C-alpha cells in the first residue's frame, strides 16, 4: 500500500529537499522502514533505539496522532511528521 509522507523542514536534508515523499507499508512502522531504505538515517531522527517516538517529534496518519508504530496505514493516507522548531 502506498502512502504519502510529509517531511518537516529540519529533516529535508535527508530527502534532498523534498517536502513530500511516497512510501509503502501497512503500518507506521513499515512506512518508516520503507522511508529508511530510501533515505538512510532519517528513521532514527524520529524514533529511538526502543522504537519510541522521540519527544520532539509527532507523527500523524491523516489527522490521527500516532501513539504506537503498529498503527495501520491505508493506501492514500498522508503521514505527517512534525518536528519541534526553535526559530523565532
Partner 1 sequence: MTLSAPELSRYHRHIALPELGRTGQERLKGARVVVIGAGGLGSPAALYLAAAGVGTIGLVDCDRVEISNLQRQVLFDSASVGRLKTEAARERLLALNPEITVIAHTLTLRADNVLDVLRDYDLVLDGTDRLTTRYVVNDACVLLGKPLVSAAIHRFEGHAMTYLPGRGPCYRCLFPEAEEGVVASCAEAGVLGVLPGVLGSIQATEAVKILTGIGEPIVGRLVTYDALELRFVELPVTRRPDCAVCGEHPTITAPRDAGELCDPAAASRVRRLTAAALHELLAAQRTRAVFDLIDVREPREFGAGHLQGARNVPLGDLERRFGELVPGSTPLFVCRSGRRSLMACTLALRAGIEAPAHLEGGLLAWAAEVDPSLDVAAG
Least Å from the CB of residue 55 to partner 1: 4
Q: Which residues bind partner 1 (CB under 8 A)?
A: 6, 8-10, 12-13, 19, 41, 44-45, 49, 55-56, 58, 60, 63, 65, 80, 82-88
Alpha-carbon gap, residue 61 to 73, rounded angstroms: 7
Residue whose CB is less far from partner 1, 31 or 46: 46
Residue whose CB is less far from partner 1, 55 or 75: 55
Least Å from the CB of residue 47 to partner 1: 11
What are the Cα distances from residue 79, in Å, to 41, 68, 86? 18, 14, 22
Alpha-carbon gap, residue 73 to 30, rounded angstroms: 9
Alpha-carbon gap, residue 26 to 56, rounded angstroms: 25
Residue whose CB is less far from partner 1, 75 or 86: 86
Amino acid at each position: 500500500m502506498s502512502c504519502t509522507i510529509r517531511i518537516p523542514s529540519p529533516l529535508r536534508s535527508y530527502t534532498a529537499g523534498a517536502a513530500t515523499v511516497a512510501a509503502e507499508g501497512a503500518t507506521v512502522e513499515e512506512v518508516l522502514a520503507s522511508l529508511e531504505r530510501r533515505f538512510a538515517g532519517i528513521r532514527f531522527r524520529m524514533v529511538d533505539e526502543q522504537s519510541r517516538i522521540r519527544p520532539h517529534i509527532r507523527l500523524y496518519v491523516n489527522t490521527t496522532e500516532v501513539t504506537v508504530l503498529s498503527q495501520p496505514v491505508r493506501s492514500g493516507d498522508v503521514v505527517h511528521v512534525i518536528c519541534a522548531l526553535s526559530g523565532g
